[in-house]
Amino acid sequence: MDGRVWNIMEYAIEVLDVSMRFNLEKEKINSLKEYIIKLLKRDIDRDEFFALRNISFKVEKGDSFAIVGGNGSGKSTMLKIISGIFSPTTGKTIINGSVAPLIELGAGFDMELTARENVYLNGALLGYSKKFLHERYDDIIDFSELHEFVDVPLKNYSSGMIARLGFSIATIVNPDVLIVDEILAVGDAAFQAKCEQRMSDMTSAGATLILVSHSIDQVKKVCKNAIWINKGEVKAIGTVDEVCDAYERG
């Protein structure tokens, strides 16, 4: 079980009293054997760290919703719980529909393969059939603007080029929920504007957007509502202007 429950309610996402605890080992252990011995003896010195504490919020279908906060505030952890990558320590998330997560740059790509090959690999991981990807291949490459580099291994790509490819594949169809975490920050201004327009078109068509970005201007441009998380706790929830203004005031 990944901590998520799927239903057909009016909300795209419900986050219900979610907390996430990590164990931080304080001592250096030099081998697996030493770790197992210490584990059996219960002799491992560790601290507990709560990345999130008692987080609750709901996102309506078709909303464009931002999660803002400083570095280490718990934003990306929250996205990984919504995406099913992490299971919360306590609480649960209720998800309605398919989720396309764009969380970690290069996730789902094989850097030794070309862009052409990665379209089919990454698309398969997102649940697209080979036939569908073949039919939409030109659309994906057209949007990414990578025509000259489709047969180049991704290990030779810049981070911005990888972001272009990942976004183009994930948004070739409208998922029920699109999750975007900072990856657009590595692209150029023109491509960011192009992505912002596509995200706006997707929400207009009924998709739900969850966006994490350090660019408050981008958040205000793209999103309607927001939550501010600070040191793992909710500081404010409301309209994007209310929350972003509170965040900027500190």
Q: What is the pLDDT of residue 42?
A: 62
Q: What is the pLDDT of residue 200?
A: 87
Q: What is the pLDDT of residue 58?
A: 96
Angstrom distance (rounded) from CA 191 to CA 78 = 26
For the question of whether the overall pTM of this predicted structure is more than 0.85, the answer is no
Which of 80, 79, 76, 20 minimizes the C-alpha distance to 48?
Answer: 20
pLDDT (mean) for 24-34? 56
- pLDDT tens digits, 38-56: 555 565 555 678 899 999 9
CA atoms in the 13 A half-sphere facing the CB of 164: 25
- pLDDT tens digits, 169-225: 988 888 899 998 877 776 688 888 888 888 888 888 899 999 998 889 989 999 999
Which of 86, 76, 68 minimizes the C-alpha distance to 21?
Answer: 86
pLDDT (mean) for 133-158? 96
Q: What is the pLDDT of residue 3?
A: 63
| Band of residue 106 on the pLDDT scale cut at 50, 70, 90 | low
Q: What is the pLDDT of residue 103?
A: 78
Class of domain 64-87+97-249: alpha beta
Q: Give the DSSP letter string of 31-90.
A: -HHHHHHHHHTT---EEEEEEEEEEEEEEETT-EEEEE--TTSSHHHHHHHHHTSS--SE
Q: Where along the chain do its domains lie?
A: 64-87+97-249
CA atoms in the 13 A half-sphere facing the CB of 238: 9
Which of 232, 230, 15, 227 minimizes the C-alpha distance to 244?
Answer: 227
Q: What is the pLDDT of residue 108?
A: 81
159, pLDDT greater than 80: yes
Q: What is the pLDDT of residue 230?
A: 95
Note the residue count of the chain. Answer: 250
